[in-house]
Amino acid sequence: MTSTAVSATPGADEPAASKPVDPRRRAVDALMRLAAIRPWDAIELPDIASEAGLTLAELRGLFPSKLAMLGGITRIVDDAVLAESTGELAAEPIRERLFDLVMRRLDAMEPYKAGLRRIAPAIRRDPLALAALNKGAVNSWRYMLASAGIPTEDSLGHLRVQGAVLLMARVSEVWLDDDEPELSRTMARLDSELKTAGRIMARVEDVHRLTAPLRGIARALCSGRPLKARRRERAASGEENDDYAPAI
């Protein structure tokens, strides 16, 4: 009985390092190895497939484009950060929770730093690529903020998420050129950006509170409730039938 169970799971006793790497991860890693030594525009799809040990058909089944592979880094980083989320900072101020999130993301991005450093200038010149990557980043940070207990689904949630995306982008610009082990320049930029973001969100929340009555009136006008109320008043006063009197 025992021997049968063991033989049914070959390789169960092999070290974890010998397990095959997920092909999507292989493709992303291959792209980033090439990006570290070649210009972004000089990397062709067959090059990536060959570097990853995949056929071109297999690569097509994994990713529709080179840009999608670049976006795959976001998913890899998300998985790493979410796997480490413990809720230990739940009682800390939002600023501290955001600081922790950004630094953990940068740690997870470290293996790809050389490639990202060379890719960044080319991507910044391509508005369509930036828009596509921003969409992925928004989805990513929705989960990041949720993992830190920061609301994302209320009326200001989309602003918090997009603000976090912009903050991460601005900090990453410094991180890409910061080779100090302590990342002192990166942390200084992060601290500055968090202070600015805090001031902006405080003003936005103040305006949101102050304009709450106006938004209520606007919703009432759009829903047609004033018209219905007027009709009820006219019906009560016997004027309702005047609306349907034939023209003479």
| pLDDT at position 232 | 62
| pLDDT at position 152 | 94
In angstroms, the CA 13 to CA 7 distance is: 11
| pLDDT at position 87 | 75
Q: Which residues in 33-62 are b (16+ Cβ under 10 Å) and which e?
A: bbbeeeebeebeeeebbebbebeeeebeeb
Average confidence (pLDDT) per 10 residues, the chain, 248 residues: 40 51 95 97 98 97 96 96 84 92 96 97 94 95 94 92 96 96 96 93 81 66 58 57 39
| pLDDT at position 60 | 97
In angstroms, the CA 160 to CA 150 distance is: 9
Structure tokens at 112: 């790809």
| pLDDT at position 206 | 76
Q: What is 76-130 written as a DSSP string?
A: HHHHHHHHH--STTTTS-HHHHHHHHHHHHHHHHGGGHHHHHHHHHHHHT-HHHH
pTM here is 0.76
| pLDDT at position 241 | 47
| pLDDT at position 12 | 42
Rounded to 5 degrees, what angle do the CA atoms 101, 106, 111 make? 145
